[in-house]
Structure 1
Amino acid sequence: AYDCARTAVRLGAASVDVCCLEAEDVMTSTPEEREEAAEEGVVLHDAYAFNSIDESAERPGLVGGMTIQKIKRFYFDENHRAVTELVEGSELTLPADYVIFAVGQKPEDTPGMGLELTHGPYVVAGKGMETSEEGVFAAGDDVTGTKSVIGAIAQGRDAASSIDRFLGGDGDISEVLLEPEVAPARIGRADEGFYSTQTQPEFAPADQRRGSFEPFECPFSEDEAKFEASRCLQCDLRLQLATPRLWNEY
């Protein structure tokens, strides 16, 4: 939804409102995303249900606004059906020329691929990510729907292994690119402020972001990049730590 809202801002919308069923503290958008959008003029209406899309009085047949109503309580009953309790008298009509429902994403071209599908446009794939067409493999959101990048990469590796076997290999796609490094036994004391200070990226002002699709997060300077890289939480010493023993193990 925020992708749509911020794109509308960049395309010249005079005003943009975001309405959602969830309260702000449980929305899946990030706080940074909401803050940046607010700086660009996007107004959030959280915990609202959608009552109606209203016709324009001046332009019959076209959108004139949308009426929403505050949610008192939202839950699923014993039959797993959504139940929405609304606050009486809390209706709010927002003037609008366009209403965009941003309710998720799905594959667009899979119906024309000649593959077995499930739940609409999603490709059926087996344990080795093989599809109904021999020699064709699928992975990621086309199979599972919108999930994590990590999950898509894992499926991609499974598919690569299956492809290797299909082409006559043994399915082993592991590869050692570098000689293993031996971590020092002692890393010493961190400089004062090492763990407490974080370098935040700078952003272009909101008035410059509004009319442009150019990247607005400014890159780190060389010194800033080195400092942030040095704060990386990965520490190979963790592999050398012994499990603490309980008193009865001594």
Structure 2
Amino acid sequence: MVVGGGIAGIQASLDLAEAGYKVYLVEQKSAIGGHMAQLDKTFPTNDCAMCIVSPKLVDCGRHRNIELLVDSDVMGVRGEAGNFTVRVRTRPRYIDLDKCTGCGDCANVCPVIIPSHFDEGLAVQRAVYKLYPQAVPNAYAIEKRGIAPCRDACPAHQRAQGYIALIREGRYEDALRVIKEDNPFPGICGRICNHRCEDACNRGKLDDPINIHALKRFITDKVYAQPRVPPEPCERKYDERVAIIGAGPCGLTAAQDLCKLGYAVTVFEALPVAGGMLRVGVPEYRLPSWIVDREVQDIVDLGVELRLNTMVENLDDVFAEGFDAVLIAVGAHEGRMLPIEGVDLDGVMVNTVFLRDVRLGNPPDIAGRRVMVLGGGNVAVDVARTAVRLGAAEVHMACLESRERMPAHPWEIEAAEAEGVQIHPSRSFKRIVSDGNGRVGGVECLNVTFMQFDETGRLTLETEPGSEHIIPCDMVVFSIGQRAGLAFIPESAGVGITRQQTIAVNPNTLAATRPGVFAAGDATTGTAFVIEAVASGHRAAESIHRYLRGEELEPE
């Protein structure tokens, strides 16, 4: 074994090989040549360095007795003279040496620019590179330094660094293609994602993180402004059929993945439109309907069968129709009310019904009325800002949390206040007061002095004695959370339900307690963000594929 692929190591390897020995030449870099390959001239003869080393590179690369171990490090040596055992670690090159012809096409399209190793940082190179033109092996390698923090922070592991590099080069359609490899809803996430990638962005340590979600929106706006080209339908490779209950982001992501794998996929949706809460739970001003409809259609065009206005009432009926696996991805469409006095008064609604009615063209008549939204999350802000747009005379928000601890994003709260929404933090709700005619007249509140949820979701609440006060209003909208509608799963279905009214699944495989049934998204976790639903859909599709192929769901 010769350690070091410079001119000395090359010459030693050639001499030993010519003497009949098997030689292993170990080199840290992606090609042999060492420092001499970097030089212009040699001292003291002033000869061309490459003219001297190049023939030896060729001889070394072609010699039958020499095996090159590039991208390798010697980790340890054991034994004695004449009988050594060497432990060598070879780093991944990400390009197959046996297949690479050195044509350079990969480097021509690589968008990632890094300092050049060969030129000691004085020039730049692509992340896909050949160390120098005469390199041996005559093959390219990829410089990869682990996982980018933005990608690691994203539940769907979106390759932000890749599509941002493509944006820099003006390759917008390529950037969209890279985004869609991990996330079928770029236009949606570019508008409403909670962008954890930006929280992890290394640029934030210097000044401000890169505005990643805005770049995603820029790409979709740019490409979607062009005429739409439908994707090619996927080839059917397997006989098995998969049913997915729920056409939200989780169910549609899984449908896309399974369709690309070669399965027949049918999505059942109870509503007249697909998209789940993205379509009926997010206001138009935040997420235009055409964006959702386009990205749903991109999935349907792959060959997914979409059955709208089709409510599943019994799992047994689904299996009886000939489906081999079922994914429950119904989402959290049922709003919750507090068990307080007055919830049966005329003028009391829940957030999901309010937003759904508005999105489906049947908004409540609240023009000139005073609206109180109970809750402090992002959905509560959506309800309040929608009420403003419907012409409400006054819009109020009241919540348990203090202004600093409200669960809504700070920029959402600031936008609501800018539109005239009055926020009443640190309030507990005692009862809804009647106006004497069976309608809402106000909400009686108490000032909160302490509140905290434990790890099980149980609330500890302390209020100020004698702080009762009434906030007048004509309409109350509860926005204190949502849950999945699981009424179609009776006990006899064999699918376990948790105390939190979610579907019990193996967290590693998303398999439910009944064979062939899987569940993902909000149906298993409670209300979450869209990117988490996308990630859950990917995982569910992987498990369903393993199940249908008879593989272990939890491979070792």
| Shared fold, TM over 0.5 | yes
Q: For residues 468 and 536 of structure 2, what CA distance do their matches in structure 1 show?
A: 46
Q: Where does 1:10-89 land on structure 2 (aligned, <5 Å)?
A: 10-57=389-436, 59=437, 61-74=438-451, 82-86=460-464, 88=466
- Give distance in 1, aligned partners of 2:447 and 2:405: 16
Judge which range, 123-132 or 13-22, deviates more. 123-132
Kindly state the Cα deviation for residue 37 of structure 1 after the two structures are TM-superposed: 0.9
Say how many residue pairs are matched: 166
State the partner residue of 1:147.
Answer: 528
Residues 147 and 65 of structure 1: CA distance in aligned 2, closer, same or farther (over 3 Å): same
Kindly report structure 1 stretches of 4+ aligned residues shifted beyond 6 Å. Answer: none
CA separation of 1:150 and 1:133: change in aligned 2, threshold 3 A? same
Q: 1:98 aligns with which of 456, 475, 478?
A: 475
Alpha-carbon distance, 1:25 to partner: 0.5
SS in 1 for 2:482: coil
Who is 2:338 aligned against?
none
RMSD across aligned C-alpha pairs, in angstroms? Answer: 2.8
- CA distance, structure 1, for counterparts of residue 472 and residue 529 of structure 2: 36
1:1-250 aligned at under 5 Å gives the runs: 1-57=380-436, 59=437, 61-74=438-451, 82-86=460-464, 88=466, 90-108=467-485, 110-113=486-489, 114=493, 115-119=495-499, 121-126=501-506, 127-149=508-530, 151-168=532-549
Amino acid at match of 2:460: A
1:171 shift after superposition:
7.7
Q: What's the TM-score once normalised by structure 1's chain length?
A: 0.58
Q: Distance in 1 between matches of 2:535 and 2:552?
A: 15
Secondary structure in structure 1 of the residue aligned to 2:510: coil
Alignment-mate amino acid for residue 462 of structure 2:
T
**Residues 164 and 76 of structure 1: is their aligned pair in 2 closer, same or farther, counting only changes over 3 Å?**
closer
Gap runs ≥5 in structure 1: 173-250
Conserved 8 A contact 2:428-2:463: no
Residues 139 and 75 from structure 1, CA distance in 2 versus in 1: closer, same or farther, beyond 3 angstroms? closer
1:55, CA displacement in angstroms? Answer: 1.3
Output the CA distance in 2 between the equivalents of 1:2 and 1:13.
14
CA distance in 2: counterparts of 1:112 and 1:160, whole angstroms: 22
Aligned partner letter, 2:389? R
Q: Percent identity?
A: 39
Question: For residues 56-94 of structure 1, what are the alpha-carbon distances to aligned partners after superposition, in whole Å with 9 as ceiling and x for unaligned?
Answer: 04x2x22111122222333589xx762313164x44321
Change (3 A) 1:129 1:76: closer
Shift of residue 54, structure 1, vs aligned partner: 1.1
CA 1:63/1:139 → structure 2, altered by over 3 Å: closer, same or farther? Answer: same
Match of 2:444, SS state, is: strand
Q: What SS does the corresponding residue of 1:99 show, helix, strand or coil?
A: strand
Q: Which amino acid is 2:503 matched to? A: V
**Counterpart amino acid of residue 499 in structure 2:** H
Q: Contact conserved, 1:71 with 1:87, CA < 8 A, in 2?
A: no
Secondary structure in structure 1 of the residue aligned to 2:539: helix
Distance 1:24 1:153, change over 3 A: same
User: How far apart, in 2, do the equivalents of 1:73 and 1:162 lie?
Assistant: 44
**Bigger relative contact order (CA 8 A; separation at least 6):** 1
More helix by share: 2
Aligned equivalents of 2:389, 2:433: Cα separation in 1:
25
What is the CA–CA distance in structure 1 between the aligned matches of 2:452 and 2:408, rounded to whole Å? 20
Q: Distance in 1 between matches of 2:536 and 2:392?
A: 40
Q: Is the 8 A contact 1:75 1:84 kept in 2?
A: no
Structure-2-length-normalised TM-score:
0.27
Structure 1 residue identity aligned to 2:448: I
SS at match of 1:158: helix
SS in 2 for 1:17: strand
- Which amino acid is 1:95 matched to? P
Q: Which structure has the larger Rg?
A: 2
| Superposition deviation, residue 50 in structure 1 | 1.6
Name the SS for the 2:432 alignment partner: strand
SS of residue paired to 1:137? strand
